[in-house]
């Protein structure tokens, strides 16, 4: 059987690290005095206290934000940033491990991230604004292959893609369909946008926002009345509002015909 080399390499690294740790603890037990051990434990306790304090502050930042129905005030912006960087990833990981209300926790993260991004005062060039769309927005009955761009959409009105095509032409922003997280990351790497509006489900949005550190991402949830990854749709009026909010160009009142697709 052909052994997987990265598996072997990583296994040996983990084994050697554990062995070194075990040796270090054994040597320390023989040479260190009780006072030295006390110092080590006091230092560890102080570090844990710092982590504890930052988690409590982050929790109240998120709690206050939720209680205020998503209104972000100037002074709690930096606390919210800390909550998004430290507290929420820990909470998301715990909710994943225990499969506890994953989508509800992810929604709070997306909402808090959006409030933070809204408060950043972003005004990006439309050409530097990327709208990433999930492929499941396209009608499963569509006869056209729309994988590379929206140009192939015939705007028949059966799904959101036609409306979005109209929107991106109107505002001059860039839009791409992504088949998943890897494809979305590749699109970002290739197009190098300054700002991203991403439409996706709770799972893809929360992991995507966490992945692209340093790049502001506003998340819009898609609606899934037909189950996951099939004939989904999104709020086009909200998408248009966000494009207007985050881009520099002055645009006339919307004349886009927005239809409900469900
Ligand atoms: S609007 Fe019509 S043509 Fe365009 S992707 Fe949807 S179903 Fe296909």
pLDDT digits (tens, 9 = 90+) for 240-253: 999 999 998 665 55
CA-based nearest residue to 235, from 247, 219, 255, 251: 219
Q: Does ligand 1 lie within 6 Å of residue 158's CB atom?
A: yes
Q: Give yes or no for residue 162 CB within 6 A of ligand 1.
A: yes
The pLDDT tens digits of the residues spanning 42-59 come to 999 999 999 999 999 999
pLDDT, tens only, 66-110: 777 656 666 678 888 889 998 999 999 999 999 999 999 999 999
Residue 140 Cβ < 6 Å to ligand 1:
no
Q: How far is ligand 1, taken at its centre, from the CA of residue 182, in Å? A: 24
Q: What is the pLDDT of residues 123-149, one digit of tens each?
A: 999 999 999 999 999 999 999 988 667
Rounded CA separation 1/189 (Å): 37
pLDDT at 197: 97
Q: pLDDT digit string (tens) for 208-235?
A: 999 888 899 999 999 999 999 999 999 9
Q: What percent of the chain has pLDDT over 70?
A: 90
Q: What is the pTM of this model?
A: 0.81
Enumerate the H helices of the chain as residue ranges: 5-31, 34-67, 77-82, 88-97, 102-118, 160-171, 181-191, 202-211, 236-246
Has residue 192 got a pLDDT over 70?
yes
Q: What is the domain partition of the chain in residue ranges?
A: 32-116, 123-246
Measured from the Cα of 159, ligand 1's closest atom is 6
Q: Is the CB of 135 under 6 A from ligand 1?
A: no
Return the pLDDT at 251: 55
**More confident: 193 or 253:** 193
Where would I find the H helices in 32-101? 34-67, 77-82, 88-97
CATH code of the domain occupying 123-246? 3.40.50
The arrangement of strands across the sheet holding 217-221 comes to 174-178, 129-134, 195-200, 217-221
Our answer on whether the CB atom of 154 is closer than 6 Å to any ligand 1 atom is: yes
Sign of CA dihedral 130, 136, 142, 143: positive
Angle, helix 202-211 to helix 181-191, in steps of 10 degrees: 40
Ligand 1, closest atom to CA 139? 7
| Angstrom distance (rounded) from CA 2 to CA 175 | 43
Distance between CA atoms of 117 and 245, rounded to whole angstroms?
11
């Amino acid at each position: 059987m052909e052994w997987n080399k990265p598996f072997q390499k990583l296994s040996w690294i983990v084994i050697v690290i554990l062995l070194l740790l075990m040796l270090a603890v054994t040597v320390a037990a023989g040479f260190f005095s009780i006072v030295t051990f006390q110092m080590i434990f006091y230092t560890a306790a102080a570090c844990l206290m710092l982590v504890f304090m930052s988690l409590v502050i982050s929790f109240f930042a998120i709690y206050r934000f939720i209680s205020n129905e998503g209104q972000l005030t100037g002074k709690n912006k930096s606390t919210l940033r800390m909550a998004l960087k430290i507290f929420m990833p820990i909470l998301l990981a715990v909710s994943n491990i225990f499969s506890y209300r994953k989508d509800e926790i992810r929604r709070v993260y997306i909402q808090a991230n959006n409030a933070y991004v809204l408060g950043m005062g972003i005004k990006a060039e439309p050409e530097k604004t990327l709208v990433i769309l999930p492929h499941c927005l396209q009608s499963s009955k569509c006869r056209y292959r729309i994988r590379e761009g929206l140009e192939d959409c015939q705007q028949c009105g059966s799904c959101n893609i036609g409306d979005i095509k109209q929107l991106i032409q109107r505002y001059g922003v860039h839009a791409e369909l992504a088949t998943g997280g890897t494809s979305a990351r590749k699109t970002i790497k290739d197009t190098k946008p300054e700002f991203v509006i991403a439409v996706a489900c709770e799972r893809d949005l929360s992991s995507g926002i966490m992945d692209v550190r340093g790049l502001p991402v506003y998340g819009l949830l898609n609606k899934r009345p037909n189950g996951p990854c099939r004939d989904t749709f999104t709020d086009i009026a909200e998408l248009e509002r966000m494009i207007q909010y985050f881009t520099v160009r002055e645009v006339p009142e919307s004349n886009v015909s927005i239809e409900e697709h469900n």
